[in-house]
Amino acid sequence: MNRLLALALFVFIFVFLPANALALDSLDALLPTPYLLRSRADDLNIDAATQARIEQMYQAAEPKYHELKRKLEQFTEQLNAALVEDEYDTAKIQQRMKATLEAENELKLYQVRVRISLLSQVTADQRQGARNFASERLEESRWRGDVLSDGELDTLLPRPFWFRSRAEELRIDASTRERLEQTYQSLEPRYHELKDQLDPPTKGLLKVILADHLDEEAILRRFTALLEAETQLKLHQVRVRTTLLSHVSAQKRRAARELAKRKPESDWRKVLRDKVERIRRLSQQLSDNGESVADIEQQLSNIEETISEGQITEGGRRLEQLFRELEQRLESDQPEPVEPDLAERELPPPTLANVSYGKHRRNILDFWQAESDEPTPLAVYYHGGGFRVFDKGKITTKWPATVNALLDGKISVAAVNYRLIQHAPLPAAFHDSRRALQFLRNKATDWNIDASRVAAWGGSAGAQISMYLAFHDDMADPASSDPVERRSTRLTCVATRDGQTSRDYQWWVDHIPGYKEPHMDFHEMFGVTTREAFLRKMVDVSALSLVSRDDPPVYMNYEMTPTAPVPESTPSNPRATISFQGHHVVFGVKLKEQMDKLGVEAHLDYPGSESAYRSVEQFLIAKLTHKDPQLRPKREVTANSH
């Protein structure tokens, strides 16, 4: 493997990833996934005979994968049930956690075995090219198993952090606090011992993979050792949590769960990086005011050295102290504080976090309540990610200015998670998003929402979901025994960025510049085996198939002009071409043409266009602050031409 790539991967894995294991998502850049080999075969110059052999091997391996995945889901659901029911039988929880981890490890080992088999069919140069493609998406990819994530587990078995730092808020008496602290101190050394034991097998695995010999026995032996060490660490963490939780009442356990949902504990690396970045911004402001800031950089250097030595808590405390000192210095320089720009303002924490709206663990949402004495409009955000990756957290990194503008405009906001295709094929994500919308409307009274003024927005996959809700007939079921399902799904308006208005890949070939063949497998996306079955499902989720003259206004934003040349992919940006084509403005052009013929309001915004609106927030605020008291009526779906 190229030495520079190997070094970059090593640095990423050991510096930026959590230290508890070599996660399979980071392993993607070392042993690229079968999907990448199959979808990028032409880019990797893999000949037709090898492509056919890889496809045949993949099809033979796939049934076993789904069998192991169903097994994992079964154990995960059993564990989830035990935790939700507050069964504080420590032995039972640990037993179920062990069974879940064993099933997850079995699935991971099988995936690694399949990857080695397929990668052995191509040349070393082609493997290196695949690693280049995979490393570009390293931070986007996620482990495709279905075990409880750390964040989900935190809200069921709250971390010791919550009982030690929030004891007063949870009304835990002094004697119980002391008992909790003693128990924690007695169990903590074993945690660090187990954590240290992860380092040797992780380095051993990296060494054998980076050698690029594809020695299946050696890789699997080292990966097994790593998984065993990680399992021991996770089981100890569960043991610590269940032991501590057994010292408090069921009521306090519930309170701790709510606290964990409302204020989820962030990864400490991100917390520290954010603090350092905020300090540097304040330092720059002081420098702009003519003050010397050399001492600040020296202090930061000393603190970072403290953190690198493992003194995380002390480093965090000193960062916070430095931040407060700089704030005070700035306040003395600026007696009249300036309102920060929307894009620079931090997003406030959600009023309610990780609220469940359905049965699956991905069926959760966050809610920001706008300050108002009157019921407020609601804007619902659906994240992008090709229905494969990402979650509602994208709202904090991609859309903070939009959320701040909406809240300032007295519009409440919700951000929704939905099942990805590794959990269930499409249209499951669309159906989850529909229920989330109905759930929010059902909460209108409790959450001070005006149910007659509701909008949706999102980018890419989130844009598809938003348009599906906007253009579909009302999916309320008045006869349902579930009050949520009786709620309307109609919207006041919808805003999108880089949205695909058709999921028919043949339509893409016919209309998208330079797009010659599908880059996605309709079997993988929709779980069907024939094009006829695919078209039946596709037509019910594509905007071009659903739009009719009684639909709400839409705002569409794209980054390129209709005549912009298609960029070529490069080693530094291997997805440049498909990313451009997959989010092309022609999707919006064709939808606007159809909506114009129907007399439905549509705004298309791209460089050089004459759109009446120039941002998602501008459009949503304009439409939602003019009350539309009557929801649009139920109608029949008709499949228009593509």
On the question of pLDDT at 277 being above 80, the answer is: no
**pLDDT tens-digit readout, 390-406:** 889 889 888 999 999 99
User: pLDDT for 568-589, tens place per residue?
Assistant: 887 667 778 888 999 999 999 9
For residues 448 and 287, the model is more confident at 448
Tell me the pLDDT tens digit for each residue of 18-53: 334 455 455 666 777 777 777 777 777 888 888 888
Confidence band of 142 (pLDDT split at 50, 70, 90) = very low
**pLDDT reading at 445 higher than 60:** yes
Amino acid 90: pLDDT? 73
My answer on whether omega of the bond before 427 falls inside 30° of 0, hence cis, is yes
What is the sign of the dihedral through the CA atoms of 445, 369, 626 and 467?
negative
What is the C-alpha to C-alpha distance for residues 227 and 219, in angstroms, rounded to an integer?
A: 12
- In tens, the pLDDT along 328-367 reads 666 555 444 334 455 557 788 999 999 999 989 899 999 9
The sign of the torsion formed by the CA atoms of 310, 23, 458, 490 equals negative
Confidence of residue 272 (pLDDT cuts 50, 70, 90): low
pLDDT of residue 34: 79
The pLDDT of residue 461 is 95
Give percent of the chain with pLDDT exceeding 90.
Answer: 33
* Tokens standing for residue 290: 């003519």
pLDDT value of residue 591: 97
The pLDDT-based confidence of 262 (bands split at 50, 70, 90) is low
Quick check: 635 pLDDT over 50? no
Output the pLDDT for position 99. Answer: 86
Whole-number Å distance between alpha carbons of 567 and 579? 10
492 DSSP assignment: S
- Please tell me the distance from the alpha carbon of residue 636 to that of residue 628, in angstroms, as a whole number: 22
Contact assessment for residue 625 and residue 377, using Cβ atoms and an 8 Å cutoff: yes
Beta strands in 243-397 (DSSP E): 352-356, 364-368, 376-382
Q: Which pair of structure tokens corresponds to residue 283?
A: 């330092």
Q: What's the length of the chain?
A: 642
The larger pLDDT score, comparing residue 70 to residue 14, is at 70
Strands 412-416 and 364-368: antiparallel
Tell which wins on pLDDT, 444 or 324: 444
Whether the predicted pLDDT of 419 surpasses 80 = yes
- CA 181 to chain centroid, in Å, comes to 34
Which residues have C-beta within 8 Å of that of residue 335, sequence separation ≥ 6?
A: none
- Give the integer Cα–Cα distance in Å for 127 and 158: 42
Q: How much is the average pLDDT of 54-60?
A: 85
Between the two ends of the chain, the Cα-to-Cα distance in Å is 46
Is pLDDT above 70 for 327? no
Residue 268 is predicted with a pLDDT of 55
Q: Is 412 helix (H, G, I), strand (E, B) or coil?
A: strand
Nearest CA to 385 among 201, 157, 579, 119?
Answer: 579
Structure-token pair, residue 42: 């032409």
- Residue-wise pLDDT for 177-195, tens only, equals 788 778 878 887 887 788 7
Residue 539 is predicted with a pLDDT of: 92
266 versus 504: the higher-pLDDT residue is 504
Residue 624 identity: L
Coil vs helix vs strand at 194? helix
- The residue type of 352 is L
Could you tell me which residue, 171 or 449, shows the higher pLDDT? 449
Q: Which residue has the higher pLDDT, 210 or 125?
A: 125
Model confidence over 468-512: pLDDT tens digits?
A: 999 999 999 999 999 999 999 999 999 999 999 999 989 999 999
The predicted structure's pLDDT at residue 593:
96
pLDDT of 95-141, one tens digit each? 888 888 888 888 888 888 888 888 888 888 788 777 776 665 443 33
Contact 30, 226 (CB under 8 A): no
Q: What is the pLDDT of residue 429?
A: 96
Average pLDDT over residues 204-213: 75
CA nearest to 137, candidates 29, 5, 33: 29
Per-residue pLDDT of 527-554, as tens digits, reads: 888 888 889 999 999 999 999 999 999 9
Measured CA to CA, the distance from residue 642 to residue 472 in angstroms comes to: 16
Looking at residue 27, its pLDDT comes to 67
- What was the pLDDT predicted at 54? 84
